[in-house]
Amino acid sequence: MNYLFVVAHPDDEVLGAGGTIGKLAEEGNKVEVCILCGEAKARKNRPKINKLRQDLINCCKILGVRKVYLGNFPNIEFNTVPHIRLVQFIEEILIASAADVVFTHHPADVNNDHHQTSLACQAAIRLFQRNTDRKPVKELFFMEIPSSTEWSLNSSLHPFIPNVFIEIKESGLLKKLDALSQYEGVMREYPHPRSEEAIKGLASFRGCQAGLLYAEGFELVFKREV
């Protein structure tokens, strides 16, 4: 199976699904990542671009990601970009990766870039309806990003409610933390949601929800079977 993780910024892929990415790769699946804002210029304490690139490479190597597609959309300004540009960029990556399954941000996420990425990704997976020669996506999942998704304060939007739980076990959790540690300036001290203690706690909680030994939670919003 071909899996594609479409995210806004470097580190979103591992924060939202690092354990799952590592597990899917270990099982022999092709796992690729699409990052719309590769430079993350607005990030506080962001290292120089060459260091950030190396951090991304190191992270993805640990997780077993085969390829990373980088866009150059403006950080925390996706709302200033024509929607069609975001959609068409993702469509190109869907074609290049031949994705069967796509994971992306939840649309109620308080981070504007995450929100716009989700909307564009939802539109892009309809590509097969407009071009019948294109490979259809079989499944679309939303994921949660600690320190962002839980801040879905707009009560008019459907909040993130996981209905799929993927067991990553302790080994997968440790791999996720190792991958996260490659990104300079991302991890924080407890009780920040991006602290090691919080990451472990969330994996434990999601696991307990489904009777699993550490897990990541996702929301399945589209499934296509023939």
| Residue 41 confidence (pLDDT) | 74
* Residue 107 to residue 205: CA distance in whole angstroms: 22
Yes or no: say if 122 and 86 are a contact pair by the CB < 8 Å rule: no
* Structure token pair of residue 95: 């074609």
Residue 37 DSSP class: B
| Residue 138 confidence (pLDDT) | 98
**pTM, full prediction:** 0.97
| Residue 47 confidence (pLDDT) | 87
Which alpha helices (H) appear in 64-221, and where do they start and end?
83-97, 112-124, 127-130, 169-180, 196-210
| Residue 40 confidence (pLDDT) | 80
* Residue 2 to residue 98: CA distance in whole angstroms: 7
Amino acid, res. 190? Y
| Residue 46 confidence (pLDDT) | 82
| Residue 196 confidence (pLDDT) | 97
Residue 43, SS3 per DSSP: coil
* Residue 154 to residue 109: CA distance in whole angstroms: 9
Collect the ranges in the chain with pLDDT lower than 70: none
* Residue 117 to residue 103: CA distance in whole angstroms: 11
Yes or no: say if 40 and 74 are a contact pair by the CB < 8 Å rule: no
Q: Which structural domains are found in the chain, ordered by start?
A: 2-223 (3.40.50.10320)
| Residue 85 confidence (pLDDT) | 98
